[in-house]
Structure 1
Amino acid sequence: MRDGRGHYKVFLGMAAGVGKTVRMLQEGRAELEAGRDVVVGLLETHGRAATLAAADGLEILPRRRVDYRATELEEMDLPAILRRAPELCLIDELAHTNAPGLEHRKRYEDIEDALNAGVDVLSTVNVQHLESLNDMVAELSGITVRETVPDSVLKRADEIVIADLTPEELLERLRAGKVYPAERIEAALNGFFRIENLRALRETALRQVAEEVGAQRIEVDPVLGTRDDRVLDEARVAVGERLLALVRPVPSAQRLVRRAWRSAQRLGADLDVLWVKAPGRAATEDEERGLGALRQLCSVLGCRMLVEDGDDVVEVAARVARERSATYLLVGESMRSGGLARWRTPLPQRLMRAAPGVDVRIVADRSRRMEETR
């Protein structure tokens, strides 16, 4: 065994099927062709032909069989990896939970042993397996991810590679049978693989990793392994926070913008201000004056004023939040409603459902409260 800790590289994706394992195998093959001693410690093909083809020519260590409750399970053979002592070992699915009775409960702990023995390791994981994101993923998809890893596992990685596909491209792969067998496709499309879930998970993968390990240590590669500057730009944008303030062209909106700007300054973030205007309706004189005042204020503060047409304020705000990579959405206190309107779901709750992964904050109107107490 070699002296010193091995180099650890993790391939991260937003969901199954984006190409993490293929990308890992491609890199392993390149290292083998460069003359390094490379083995596959654990590979999960999930029946995917492309994954199996990518492993062709690589040495794959046999799994060990473990008896558990009258069932024979197959697990990674950690002692065999340590005895073999390769220069580089490829270990798929680091969030896996081992069968009871093995050296460690989790595969990421097995990987630590290999790294401490001086073996370089390539591994894979999906963003929903990060412990800190468990609740958010459950809210997004309705599915509770049971196998999680501490966020510190990624922090200890020397490199992070985001194996990236657009949600639309991933759905094409799913429908073509390249992710799951035919009998599972319909359930996947109606469950975890809904387009809004994938969009939120993709943004989360870019943002979360950038925040955890630092943008200078992120390499972004799509599944085919070619450089994609568009995705790299998205990762850079995701490093910081971004605020979006939802306003109406009324005098009180200026206070909301100022509060939002101060919050942005504390976070070192950019601020966008959005008014969702009813389509086909000309602005009133009061609205024109209010909009002019907001534009002037935004110009002075150095933030951007956006005006978007739309019948549904929540839908438009959620779309703009995605397009602008907003991490916070700020709204003012809603006016009290009478009659049937009081039974409608409040705006902040609707925004939270429409823009998962974005923090929604209500900016209190202290001046109105002071008036009410007089």
Structure 2
Amino acid sequence: MSEKHPYFRRKTPQELLNEIAEEKRGKLKLYVGAAPGVGKSYKMLQDAYDLKLEGIDVAIGLIECHGRKETEELIKDIEVVPLKEMNYKGSIFRELNVDAIIQRMPKVIVIDELAHTNIPGSKNKKRYMDVEEILNAGINVMSAVNIQHLESVHDIVQQITGVAVRERVPDLFVQDAHEIQLIDVTPETLRKRLADGKIYASEKIEQSLTHFFTVTNLSSLRELALREVADDVDEKIEQISGNLMYGPIGVHEKILVCVGYGPTAEKLIRRGWRMANRLKAQLYILNVTKNSPEAFSQEKRERTEQWKILASQFNAVFLLEQEGSRKPAQVIIDIAKQYHITQILLGQSARTRWEEIRKGSIVNTIMRKTENIDIHIVSDGRS
């Protein structure tokens, strides 16, 4: 009798428990746009209203109308869960009331501005964490986000617009969405909406038209949004239509990102994630250090923690390796061999040409002492 394929093995108790938990978890629908004003909130409310007409229990947890009358009109017939008032530095702020939503337990809840950072003292630091808690309670969530708030495109967006976006959402959270809908309008239409006062207050219109809302910026962000959503669709199709007889498509590539304490470490990590995501590869992040972590300065400890947070968001393995008697190139080689790395990302060398002549090029050393590993050099120019 022929041997059964490993895919048909008996599932472990933990795997069965994970499947049951996944079935009980709510589903996330995301409305993604290239920029503010494309109509994400309006379309989300339209869909919520249609669900209400079908007899489905829908409520609004938080919606940002920004004074848009058409959006405000749609709210009137949908129940709104009151926001939680919080006192911070003598001012009153209103945040999403996670506990009240879970207690109310609607079938679907509308929660706008996914990338928002909550006021200090809130239950969760970020709104997407609030949404995660609500999903885990078994409530379906409809939410909206602009493409520039996606963690992995931070450097690209900064290069396009000259703006460093502070509020960001992990890619893995977005990829877990059950459905992603792109809300798309042309740059010309968006600029007209802005000029007509449908996006921002009148005093912000002129500056926005000449800065963030230029045709070049909007066209680039639109292309970025289209590409990111298309990649998500491709991935879901691959998961569904892959050869299920032999299980999910496996990970073959392994990518190692080598970071130092220069200004571009986070950029390298995000670039590595984008490569790993497209290649369905495991991502490793390596920092080679002379000292033990106990001897790190406060600044180095903070940077290392920041890298660990990014690694966690990107589902990457973070490695902190001491040189000891080895040179940095040898440490990278040892790690690459240990983890069967197929691609290495390095920042442009900080060494001068004279130093490379005296000490040797790290890239040349790695190439000489390894086989079948591709090496990518990423420019140190800030994006």
Using the size of structure 2 for normalisation, the TM-score is: 0.55
CA deviations on 1:8-56 (whole Å, 9 max, x unpaired) are 1000000000000000000000000000111000111111111111222
Letter in 2 for 1:100: P
Sequence identity, in percent?
Answer: 45
Match of 1:131 among 115, 133, 151: 151
Corresponding position: 1:63 with 2:83: yes
Match of 2:170 among 150, 166, 188: 150
Taking the aligned partners of 1:171 and 1:105, their CA distance within structure 2 comes to 33
- Of the two, which has the highest radius of gyration? 1
**For residue 195 of structure 2, what is the aligned residue in structure 1?**
175
Letter in 1 for 2:190: L
**For residue 130 of structure 2, what is the aligned residue in structure 1?**
110
Corresponding position: 1:100 with 2:135: no
Corresponding position: 1:81 with 2:101: yes
How far did 1:213 drift? Answer: 4.8
**For residue 35 of structure 1, what is the aligned residue in structure 2?**
55
**For residue 223 of structure 2, what is the aligned residue in structure 1?**
203
How far did 1:201 drift? Answer: 0.4
Taking the aligned partners of 1:189 and 1:3, their CA distance within structure 2 comes to 46
**For residue 183 of structure 2, what is the aligned residue in structure 1?**
163
Taking the aligned partners of 2:84 and 2:139, their CA distance within structure 1 comes to 20
**For residue 204 of structure 2, what is the aligned residue in structure 1?**
184
Taking the aligned partners of 2:104 and 2:23, their CA distance within structure 1 comes to 15
**For residue 73 of structure 2, what is the aligned residue in structure 1?**
53
Taking the aligned partners of 1:61 and 1:214, their CA distance within structure 2 comes to 36
Kindly indicate whether the alpha-carbon contact (under 8 Å) linking 1:95 and 1:108 is maintained by their aligned counterparts in 2.
yes
Corresponding position: 1:20 with 2:6: no
**For residue 9 of structure 1, what is the aligned residue in structure 2?**
29
1:213–1:109 distance in 2 versus 1, CA, 3 Å = farther
Kindly indicate whether the alpha-carbon contact (under 8 Å) linking 1:154 and 1:212 is maintained by their aligned counterparts in 2.
no
Letter in 1 for 2:133: D
Taking the aligned partners of 1:14 and 1:31, their CA distance within structure 2 comes to 26
Matches within 5 A, 1:307-322: none
1:3–1:84 distance in 2 versus 1, CA, 3 Å = farther
How far did 1:215 drift? Answer: 6.5
Kindly indicate whether the alpha-carbon contact (under 8 Å) linking 1:9 and 1:121 is maintained by their aligned counterparts in 2.
yes
**For residue 92 of structure 2, what is the aligned residue in structure 1?**
72
CA deviations on 1:107-127 (whole Å, 9 max, x unpaired) are 111111111111011000000
Taking the aligned partners of 1:214 and 1:43, their CA distance within structure 2 comes to 30
How far did 1:216 drift? Answer: 5.5
Q: For 1:214, what is the secondary structure of its paired residue?
A: helix
**RMSD over aligned Cα atoms:** 2.0
Q: For 1:12, what is the secondary structure of its paired residue?
A: strand
Number of corresponding residues: 219
How far did 1:3 drift? Answer: 7.3
Moved more, 16-25 or 205-214: 205-214
How far did 1:183 drift? Answer: 1.0
Taking the aligned partners of 1:55 and 1:215, their CA distance within structure 2 comes to 34
Kindly indicate whether the alpha-carbon contact (under 8 Å) linking 1:85 and 1:119 is maintained by their aligned counterparts in 2.
yes
How far did 1:208 drift? Answer: 1.3
Letter in 1 for 2:124: H
**For residue 307 of structure 2, what is the aligned residue in structure 1?**
none
Kindly indicate whether the alpha-carbon contact (under 8 Å) linking 1:167 and 1:198 is maintained by their aligned counterparts in 2.
yes
CA deviations on 1:104-148 (whole Å, 9 max, x unpaired) are 101111111111111011000000000111111111111111100
1:56–1:215 distance in 2 versus 1, CA, 3 Å = farther
Taking the aligned partners of 2:208 and 2:61, their CA distance within structure 1 comes to 29
Letter in 2 for 1:53: E
Taking the aligned partners of 1:167 and 1:56, their CA distance within structure 2 comes to 30
How far did 1:90 drift? Answer: 0.3
Match of 2:140 among 120, 128, 138: 120
Taking the aligned partners of 2:189 and 2:122, their CA distance within structure 1 comes to 39
Taking the aligned partners of 2:23 and 2:178, their CA distance within structure 1 comes to 17
Kindly indicate whether the alpha-carbon contact (under 8 Å) linking 1:95 and 1:129 is maintained by their aligned counterparts in 2.
yes
Taking the aligned partners of 1:167 and 1:20, their CA distance within structure 2 comes to 15
Moved more, 84-93 or 176-185: 176-185
Letter in 2 for 1:69: K
